[in-house]
Amino acid sequence: MNGVHDLGGMHGMGAIEPEHDEPVFHSEWEARAFALNIAAGAWRKWNIDAGRHQIELLPPADYLRMSYYEKWAVRLAELLVKHGLVTREEFESGQPARGSVKATPPLTAAQVPSLLRTGAAASRNVSIAARFQAGQRVRARNINPTGHTRLPRYARGRVGTVDRDHGVYVFPDTNAHFLGENPQHVYSVRFTARELWGDQASARDSVYVDLWDDYLEPV
Amino acid sequence: MSGHGHKHHEHEHQVVPSDPALRVKALESLLVEKGLVDPAALDALIDTYENKVGPRNGARVVARAWTDAAYKRRLMEDATAAIAELGYGGRQGEHMVVVENTPAVHNLVVCTLCSCYPWSVLGLPPAWYKSQAYRSRAVIDPRGVLREFGVELSEDVEVRVWDSTAELRYLVLPERPDGTENLGEDELAALVTRDAMVGAGKVAASSRATADKVSR
């Protein structure tokens, strides 16, 4: 979707303000919001793409106003309702529905190290032909899907060169909507800064964008 | 996806406290009541990223690459496997790519669409990396961004910006500073800053000079 999350190349977003000796979390609630997202994710009711998309669905003004972990908290609440783990009524009352059975969480403290250790590979070990090869010129398609996509607006319609083929990965545009993994090759595509931004950009510079087969067409 | 829950969202604003601290507290107590999360697991997750997984991991990878040419070759060839040799991997480090800074090339990593970051080697991202300012500017004005981080690049240096739009996670291998020929791996690792491994900094030879930046 052409959301405000797709920030690459926008102006007016203010100064970058690195913080001295920045703590990992700035307050206890940030830490809890982070951990709740990971722990609830262990139910595997949604996937990483659906999780990202849920944040993109925030109204633009909220997206820009909210802090990072505020967005995570809202995202989690929405996902929990959408996937039936919590009802709106339970959020309203703050209490479990009467008669509801207490669940057993899939993630205990003892399981945390192995969960983080294992991670969740997005690559798929399936044999799928690559449509493009390193060195080949490609154009990022001019698509404007209303759902989730990882093709940033600034690259759409632009011509670049395949730098390398990363292999086969789950396709977020379908996976985010539970329409299948649709695995396909992902390439690092090099776009010159001038192709993206015009003559104001340095002739030497470039931006490398990781793009799936379905985002690309031959030139 | 259309009809995306705008109403739900506003509705939720009404029922969940707008103060984030209260909101998260309410969320946690409900989920614990329902048995959906174990508070001890939350503690363990937080402890992991506050105390165990952070930029020191990445610094060890960099120092090894600086001191062991064979390791560096493996790292450039298959970063995920080479990083696993040092015991690092897993969540948000499943598919690693290392890009090398040289006198002729400077790499900078960003995620314009969200805040993808190589957790397994750098820990959780700092606020500036997640900021709308950095995400918007890094791709269109990398030299200006770098200048604000104190990195002034001459026009003949090529800047490569890596936008983490897929599940590949990027780690910058900074240039080894001059004057560190006699330092061992541990001493070198102590010089490597988080910002340098994102490409938003360079590594200085003196730890005194970089002491301020170590945590950045």
B112–A7 C-beta distance less than 8 A = yes
Answer yes or no: do B1 and A177 touch at CB < 8 A.
yes
Query: Do B90 and B150 share a structural domain?
Result: yes
b/e per residue A34-56 (b: at least 16 CB within 10 A): bbbbbbbbbbeebbbbbbbbbbb
Burial label, A58 (beta-carbon count in 10 A; 0-12, 13-18, 19+) = buried
Percent of chain B with pLDDT over 90: 86
pLDDT per position as a tens digit, A40-92 = 999 999 999 999 999 999 999 999 999 999 999 999 999 999 999 999 999 99
Q: Which of B128, B137, B165 sits opposite A152 (nearest CB)?
A: B165
- Comparing A1-10, A98-107, B201-210, the range with the smallest average pLDDT is B201-210
| Among chain A residues, CA nearest to B106 | A205
Look at residue B12 in the predicted model and tell me its pLDDT: 44
**B30 and B133 housed in the same domain:** no
Q: Is A178 on the interface with B (CB under 8 A)?
A: no
Q: What is the pLDDT of residue B79?
A: 98
Give the pLDDT of residue A212.
Answer: 98
- Taking CB atoms within 8 Å and a gap of at least 24, the contacts of B73-77 are B75/B173, B76/B100, B76/B173
Whether residue B41 is found in the same domain as residue B144: no
| Alpha carbon of A135: minimum distance to chain B alpha carbons (Å) | 17
pLDDT for B129 beyond 80: yes
Reported as a pLDDT band with limits 50, 70 and 90, residue B17 is low
- pLDDT at residue A74, as a whole number: 96
Closest by CA to B80, choosing from B65, B95, B98, is B95
Q: Which two tokens stand for residue A51?
A: 């999780």
Query: B40 and B99: one domain?
Result: no
Statement to judge: residues B40 and B82 lie in one domain? no
Same domain assignment for residues B145 and B116: yes
* Residue A118 with chain B: CB contacts under 8 Å: 90-91
Please state the separation of Cα A21 from the chain's center in Å: 27
Q: What is the pLDDT of residues A170-211, one digit of tens each?
A: 999 999 999 999 999 999 999 999 999 999 999 999 999 999
pLDDT in tens, B18-31: 699 999 999 999 99
In a domain, B103, yes or no: yes
* Mean pLDDT confidence for B141-167: 97
B71 and B46 inside one domain: no
Strand order in the sheet with B105-110: A216-218, A137-140, A159-169, A184-192, A206-212, B158-163, B105-110
> Of B82, B97, B134, which is closest to residue B112 (Cα–Cα)?
B134
B20 and B65 share one domain: no
Question: Does residue B111 lie in a domain region?
Answer: yes
Residue B34, domain extent: 7-50
Instruction: Dig out the tokens for A181 from the structure.
Output: 């993994």
Query: Which pLDDT does position B207 carry in this prediction?
Result: 58
Q: Do B157 and A113 touch (CB under 8 A)?
A: no
Is B215 in the active site?
A: no
Tell me, yes or no, whether B137 and B182 share the same domain.
yes
How confident is the model at residue A67, as a pLDDT? 96
Domain match, B106 and B185 both: yes
Q: Do B44 and A105 touch (CB under 8 A)?
A: no
Find the catalytic residue in B2, B18, B29, B116: B116
Rounded average pLDDT over A134-141: 98
Q: Examine the predicted complex and report whether its ipTM is higher than 0.95.
A: yes
Check CB contact under 8 Å for B216 and A123: no
- pLDDT at A216 (0 to 100): 98
Q: Which pLDDT score is estimated for B132?
A: 98
Is B2 an annotated catalytic residue?
Answer: no
Instruction: Please give the tally of structural domains in chain B.
Output: 2
A148 touches chain B (CB under 8 A): yes
- Determine whether the interchain pair B30/A91 forms a contact, defined as Cβ–Cβ distance below 8 Å: yes
**Does residue B12 or residue B117 have the better pLDDT?**
B117
Asked if A98 is an interface residue toward chain B (Cβ–Cβ < 8 A), one would say no
Query: Residue B66: what pLDDT?
Result: 98
Q: Nearest CA to CA, how far is A217 from chain B (Å)? A: 18
Residue B30: what pLDDT? 97
List of domains in chain A: 28-99 (1.10.472.20), 137-218 (2.30.30.50)
Mean pLDDT of A98-123: 94
Q: Is residue B2 part of a domain?
A: no
Binning pLDDT at 50, 70 and 90, where does residue B10 land?
very low
Q: What is the distance between the alpha carbons of residues B95 and B45, in angstroms, rounded to a whole number?
A: 21
**DSSP code of residue B49:** I
Structure tokens at A86: 């919590």
DSSP string, chain A: ---TT--TT----------TT--SSSSHHHHHHHHHHHHHHTT-SS-HHHHHHHHHTS-HHHHHHS-HHHHHHHHHHHHHHHTTSS-HHHHHHSSPPTTPPPP--S--GGGHHHHHHH----B-------S--TT-EEEE-----SS-----GGGTT-EEEEEEEEEEE--HHHHTTTS----EEEEEEEEEHHHHH-TTS-SS-EEEEEEEGGGEEE-
For residue B115, what are the CA distances in angstroms to A8, A125, B132?
12, 26, 10
Q: Which among B78, B165, B216 is the top mutation candidate for probing chain A, defined by the most A β-carbons within 10 Å of its own β-carbon?
A: B165
Residue at B133 is within a domain: yes
Look up the CATH number of the domain holding residue B77.
Answer: 3.90.330.10
**B111 has catalytic annotation:** yes
> What is the per-residue pLDDT for B13?
45
Q: In this structure, is residue B1 part of a structural domain?
A: no
Q: Mean of the pLDDT values across residues B161-180?
A: 98
* pLDDT number for residue B213: 45
Based on the domain organization, do B69 and B148 belong to the same domain? yes
Strand A206-212 relative to strand B158-163: parallel, antiparallel, unpaired?
Answer: parallel
B61: pLDDT confidence band, cut at 50, 70 and 90? very high
Are residue B26 and residue B85 in the same domain, yes or no?
Answer: no
Q: Model confidence over A4-50: pLDDT tens digits?
A: 999 999 999 999 999 999 999 999 999 999 999 999 999 999 999 99
How far apart (Å, rounded) are the C-alpha atoms in residues B34 and A102?
5
Average pLDDT of the segment spanning B148-174: 97
CA distances from B160 to A65, A205, A206, B150 (A): 30, 6, 5, 17
- Indicate whether B116 belongs to any domain: yes
| List B114, B131, B206, B215, catalytic entry | B114
Beta carbons of A209 and B24 less than 8 Å apart: no
- From A85, A91, A186, residue closest to B12, measured CB to CB: A91
Residues on chain B touching A19 (C-beta within 8 angstroms): 126-128, 216
Tell me if B186 is assigned to some domain: yes
Query: What pLDDT score does B206 carry?
Result: 81
Going by C-beta distance under 8 Å and a sequence separation of 6 or more, which residues neighbour residue B22?
none
- Is B115 catalytic? The answer is yes
